[in-house]
Amino acid sequence: MAKNEQPAVTPEPVDIEGLEAKLSKKNADYLFKFKRALNAEQVPAERQTEILAEMLPEMVAEQHKGKPATQVYGPVTTKIDQLLHAPKRPKQTSLQLQMLDNGLIFLIMYLAFNGIAAYFSTKGSATSIGITSIVITAALAGIIMTYPMRYTQMPKEQRPPFWKMALVVIGLTLAFVAAYGVTILIPSFLNPVLPPLVQIVIAALLIGVRIYIKRRFKITGSFFG
């Protein structure tokens, strides 16, 4: 063992029987009904022991303050529901999947709006944004939008300082503007302008792609939910 290494501290086992003996008549009755409910739910004995080891010290401590178990935990059925039937917290979607989903959303929007605008515009005034520019700006918009959304979805105690998030968003926005300016300089053979109807059809197909990916990976918390 290293010189400065502290030995692992093993928690002392809870004296369940000793704590049960300290319960008031009202709390003892609550515990009797609680155990009966656990057995009715076919909770394994080992799990029952873990639950009682967590509850009994608190029951005794609150009892000394004049609070019976019904006041601390509510009715037995309520406590059982909280322990055994509480809905599991949904797993948070990864940052990368949220960015992908948001990027697809913006790509669909850009293609649809650009295609519709070009289709209904008069000759000579059609929008001439190349597909490479559209893809790059959509990807950057998806990345930029994900960060503030992710920030608002975090528990308040886990959020980084607001000024840090603001700096990140400002930096990404400047990168977005710079990247868009660079895409304009891309040669036309690398940044072709697609016909309006082609853009609209691709946007429609990407809607189906986005629905599949969203369901396949159970993506939540993105731009449109």
Task: Specify the pLDDT at position 87.
Answer: 64
191: closest CA among 125, 112, 134?
Answer: 134
Q: What is the pLDDT of residue 124?
A: 46
Mean pLDDT of 167-193: 86
Q: What is the pTM of this model?
A: 0.60
According to the model, what pLDDT value does residue 29 have?
93
Domain boundaries, the chain: 16-84, 95-216
Mean pLDDT of 67-74: 90
What DSSP character marks residue 189?
A: T
CB 69 within 8 A of CB 108: no
Q: Look at residue 101 in the predicted model and tell me its pLDDT.
A: 95
Higher pLDDT, 25 or 181: 25
Given this model, what pLDDT does residue 176 score?
83
| End-to-end Cα distance, the chain | 52
CA dist 217 and 106 (Å) reads: 19
Residue 27 CB: number of other CB atoms within 10 A?
A: 22
Q: Are 110 and 134 in contact (CB under 8 A)?
A: yes
Tokens read off for 223? 């731009």
Query: Which ranges of the chain would DSSP assign to H, the alpha helix?
Result: 16-21, 25-40, 45-64, 69-73, 76-84, 95-120, 131-153, 162-184, 196-216
Place of tokens 């930029």: 144
With residue 39 as reference, give the H or E element that holds it.
helix 25-40
Task: Give tens-digit pLDDT for 95-114.
Answer: 899 999 999 999 999 999 99
Q: Give the whole-angstrom CA distance, residue 66 versus residue 188.
A: 80
- Residues 38-64: what's their mean pLDDT? 91
Using DSSP's 3-state secondary structure scheme, residue 32 falls into helix
